[in-house]
Amino acid sequence: MAHIMAVTAYRNAEFGTEPGAERPTESGVVTAGVGIDDPATLRCLLDQTPTPTALVDGEEGCCIFANAAFRALGVVAGTNLTERFPALPSALLAEARQTGRPQRSRAVGDGALDGVRFWDVRITPMMGVNSVVRALIVTVEETPESAAEHERRLRDVSHRLKNTLQLVSSLLTLQTLSTKDPEVRRALQSAGGRVGIVTQAHQHSHGALRSGCINVAVLLRELCLELEATLPGAHRIQVAAEVAEMPADALIPFSLIVSELVGNAARHAFPAGVPGTIDVRLDRYEGGGVRLEVSDRGTGLPAGVDVARAATLGLKVVRAFVGQLRGKLSADSDPSGTRVTVDFPPA
């Protein structure tokens, strides 16, 4: 649209009437004053067009006019357009000049912030007598990068973040090995475990960036296998999970909630040295929400303990992330075991 406006503006500026000249209207009445065929009006309109637009000499390739949007990119009248805007292929200008046919191309140029900007470039020849190209209208529009390039960038960012998380985990491990205080060692091991959970969830979330959601049943099974192998005690974790989708940005909080609830059951639900079974269930409830249940067959919660108010770090983490995901936390406990339920609203 901008290049059509530019062609109209140039032609009216070259061949249109002078300001104040009489012009016929649709009603047949001849009027005077500023109108759309006034070159000054059209030039002002073109200058304020948000699409970078320039007029290039048909023979010399020199920029005759650049609107405000193009001037913001460093292109001004009297300069060589391809020198000031290297993303514009000079061969494209030559092709339009030689053939007299419109040209279009996707170009890549430098950006001030991220190093790369993508442009949709259009060139419209303006023909004079004897089909000679008198000038070229050039418009450029910044566009999103291609899907393949976008995916490559996401993979690069994801890989760097994964490396950073692994570095943090390694530093925590080194710190754990260097301390002799049992309480400090346990705290560092716990922190390292949480970083590991975040890393695992991040790997799944990268695959959900395009669709926006992911089947958390797959994540849940993998997470519980990892927990079964690493948590203290020979506990067995049984998982029953149906297909349930959650947004990509919910995967890390969801994983930490599962990790804390399962870990809490493994550490506190059973007598010391006695292995037990922890059941983890995931399904959908009426209305489209997702329900997570973590239950054990242990001794039940101590008298007076309320998961909604308990001051332990693990349950504080659970409550914080349940709140972040707008979920509802509840628990039932008796001497035959404890069941903690988290209801997540529909995505």
Q: Quick one: which H or E segment has residue 128?
A: none
Band of the pLDDT at 214, cuts 50, 70, 90?
Answer: confident
Kindly report, residue by residue over 79-120, the tens digit of the pLDDT.
Answer: 888 888 888 888 888 889 889 899 988 877 754 434 577 888
Kindly report, residue by residue over 288-329, the tens digit of the pLDDT.
Answer: 899 999 999 888 887 777 777 777 888 888 999 999 999 999
Q: Say which amino acid occupies 6.
A: A
Partnered with residue 333 across adjacent β-strands are 338
Q: What is the pLDDT of residue 208?
A: 59
Q: Quick one: which H or E segment has residue 340?
A: strand 337-344
Q: Which residues lie closer than 8 Å to 173 by C-beta, 6 or more apart? A: 192
Q: How far apart are the first and last CA of the chain?
A: 39
Band of the pLDDT at 15, cuts 50, 70, 90?
Answer: very low
Band of the pLDDT at 210, cuts 50, 70, 90?
Answer: low
Burial classification of residue 189, based on how many CB atoms lie within 10 Å of its CB (0-12 exposed, 13-18 middle, 19 or more buried): middle
CB 242 within 8 A of CB 187: no
Question: Taking 50 as the threshold, does the pLDDT of residue 35 lie above it?
Answer: yes
Q: What is the pLDDT of residue 115?
A: 54
Between 159 and 338, the more confident residue is 338
Question: Taking 50 as the threshold, does the pLDDT of residue 175 lie above it?
Answer: yes
